[in-house]
Amino acid sequence: MYYGTLADPKGDSDILQEINYAKDAGFDFLEISAEGPKFTTSKLLSRAGEIKKARDEAGIFFTCHTPWGWNVGNPYKPIRDATLSEVIGVIGFAEEVEARLVTVHMHTRFGLYHRDEMIRHMAEGLSVLCDRAEKSGMPVTVENVDQSVDDFKKLFELEPRAKFHLDVGHANISCKGGANIADFIDTFKDRLYHVHVHDNKGGHGVDGDLHLALGMGNIDWHKVVNALKAAKYDKTVTFEVFSKNRQYLETSLDVFRGLAGGR
């Protein structure tokens, strides 16, 4: 597996500093979240040359992440089209800096719309993105927010070109005790393309999605790592630990790497 950290869109560090931090802390890659006002797509594109140069000097690679609020399955088509245009811009940046994937988020709650209808709109939006991404072979991955395994089965039946992005922390919230984390891994092991890891104590809402260091919540990381190994997962894992003290992030990397038995 390859281990990465998220370029903090809220902190004071410049993108080049984030690249150097990833290298110095022993990560294999940096996940760039195209999130304003700091890391808007236009700002990132304007610096693509120096970003690639810094990447080459650091000897790492990139993945790309879109803001979780960008709903590519918005039921109002003009708004969905505008969101898709923004994501297509991120795909263009990802291609420019030779990133390995672009992630969008799955949204299935919107006013009075039925969950199945939201999944259908999500698939429609994904089809547009997959059409665009096919030009360069850029994988488009879909991150779980509060959905079930069955929700994703329906989505991938409608748009089979999309890849699965497992957010372990979100899965722990969406099912009591995180019972569906292993189910997600086993069901979509042939489609699993990216993983986010962070800890929490379960529960719902913003207060539940704490993005803690590994071991500070109730997720059984032995089981998670064993499930990934059983699925022969060998791709990217991003540590989404939100703390100003990056020792928590680095300790999480050590914990996961120790369980995985890798370098």
What are the structural domain ranges in the chain? 2-260
Say what the pLDDT of residue 179 is: 63
- The encoded tokens of residue 229 equal 């190994």
| pLDDT digit string (tens) for the chain, length 263 residues | 999 999 987 777 899 999 999 999 999 999 999 998 889 999 999 999 999 999 999 999 999 999 999 999 999 999 999 999 999 999 999 999 999 999 999 999 998 999 999 999 999 999 999 999 999 999 999 999 999 999 999 999 999 999 999 999 999 987 655 568 999 999 999 999 999 999 988 876 556 888 899 999 999 999 999 999 999 999 999 999 998 899 999 999 999 999 998 65
* Owner of token pair 């990833």: 22
| Homologous superfamily of the 2-260 domain (CATH) | Divalent-metal-dependent TIM barrel enzymes (3.20.20.150)
Say what the pLDDT of residue 9 is: 76
Burial readout 154-183 (b: 16 or more C-beta within 10 A, e: otherwise): bbbeebeebbbbbbbbbbbbbbeebebbbe
Q: How far is 152 from 227, CA to CA, in rounded Å? A: 19
Q: How far is CA 250 from the centre of its chain?
A: 19
Residue whose C-alpha is closest to residue 28's, from 62, 56, 3: 3
Residue 32's contacts (CB-CB under 8 Å, 6 or more residues apart) are 7, 15, 39, 44, 62, 63, 64, 65, 97, 99
Residue whose C-alpha is closest to residue 202's, from 210, 191, 193, 194: 210
Residue 122's contacts (CB-CB under 8 Å, 6 or more residues apart) are 72, 73, 106, 107, 108, 142, 155
Residue whose C-alpha is closest to residue 101's, from 73, 142, 68: 142
**66 neighbors 93 (Cβ within 8 angstroms):** no
Say what the pLDDT of residue 153 is: 97
pLDDT tens column, 181-213: 999 999 999 999 999 999 988 876 556 888 899
Q: How far is 83 from 107, CA to CA, in rounded Å? A: 13
Whole-prediction pTM: 0.94
